[in-house]
Amino acid sequence: MDSPYDLVTISKVDFDRFQNDPFSGKIGSILHLVFDELPKDLKQCAKFTDPHLRPIEGFEDKEIKGYEITIRGNKRIERFVKDYIPFILLKKE
């Protein structure tokens, strides 16, 4: 790994895979790791969540675009996820 940002940098393929199935691919793997750390009272709610990527306004240049993960269905889980993954960087091709 060349940079710590490699963990939060995705390609168009990763982005498309997430759009089809949020719990598959690179982002899905990271989400599974974060969900494994959820407190016991939130773990049972995790299966009813609906993760999405939302563009971060002003977080874009010619090479990257910033996104944040939003969790529809449970704002407490969303805050927990954002503590671990504050943003995702999409590499433009």
> In the prediction, which pLDDT does 73 show?
85
* β-sheet bridge partners, residue 89: 9, 66
pLDDT above 90 (res 47) = no
Instruction: Determine the distance from the C-alpha atom of residue 17 to the mean position of all C-alpha atoms in its chain, rounded to a whole number.
Output: 12
Segment 67-72 mean pLDDT: 94
Q: What is the pTM of this model?
A: 0.86
SS3 11: coil
pLDDT above 70 (res 1) = no
